[in-house]
């Protein structure tokens, strides 16, 4: 990806009933349908497990091939190869083959220019949005031009 610019999109939920986890699953499905490998970046192992379970039923009626990043690392070692969607934490980023990062972590992705696209998910509750504001500023400071999209 050297020399390329990462496209950064912030998806801002407007409805407090909608979850960033459901939106993450939908965006991962869209990336997979476009032939892109993606990684859902979480704040910890609890959220990895939650998303792993959720991806068996979201989007409804669809199957999204996925696996936790720890399992993907084992599969690569066994030459089976990783699933098109992995779920991990910041510590898994350096070993990721993802082109699209879907970030649910509270922190900005370091060196985002390694990836083709970076999708930031912003919760609807104003009290939970401050981390997203900081990430937006962080990406601008490294020369990226984030774009915001309001989601119903």
**Which 3 state secondary structure label does DSSP give 128?**
helix
What string of pLDDT tens digits covers the 152 residues of the chain? 444 689 999 999 999 888 999 999 999 999 999 999 999 999 998 999 999 999 988 878 888 889 888 775 555 444 456 789 999 999 999 888 899 999 999 999 999 999 999 999 999 988 889 999 999 999 999 999 999 999 97
Task: Give the range of the structural domain holding residue 37, as residue numbers without chain letter.
Answer: 7-151
Residue 1 lies in a domain: no
Answer whether 0.75 is exceeded by the pTM. Answer: yes
- Chain centroid to CA 57: 18
Tokens matching residue 119: 């999708």
Residue 73 lies in a domain: yes
CATH of the domain at 66: 3.40.50.10110
111 Rama class: left (phi>0) / alpha (psi -120 to 50) / beta: left
Residue 103 lies in a domain: yes
Residue 66 lies in a domain: yes
Residue 2 lies in a domain: no
Number of compact structural domains in the chain: 1
Residue 60 lies in a domain: yes
> Dihedrals φ, ψ of 40, to 5°?
-90, 120
């Amino acid at each position: 990806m050297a020399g390329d610019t990462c496209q950064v999109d912030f998806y801002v939920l407007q409805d407090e009933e909608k979850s960033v986890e459901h939106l993450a699953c939908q965006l991962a499905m869209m990336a997979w349908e476009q032939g892109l490998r993606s990684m859902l970046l979480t704040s910890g192992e609890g959220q990895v497990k939650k998303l792993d379970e959720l991806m068996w039923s979201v989007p409804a009626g669809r199957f999204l091939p996925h696996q936790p990043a720890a399992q993907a690392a084992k599969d690569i070692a066994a030459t089976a190869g990783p699933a098109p969607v992995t779920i991990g934490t910041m510590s898994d980023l350096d070993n990721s083959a993802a082109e699209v990062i879907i970030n649910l972590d509270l922190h900005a992705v370091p060196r985002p220019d390694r990836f083709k696209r970076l999708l930031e998910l912003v919760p609807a509750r104003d009290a939970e949005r401050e981390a997203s504001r900081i990430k937006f500023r962080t990406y601008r400071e490294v020369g990226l031009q984030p774009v915001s999209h309001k989601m119903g």
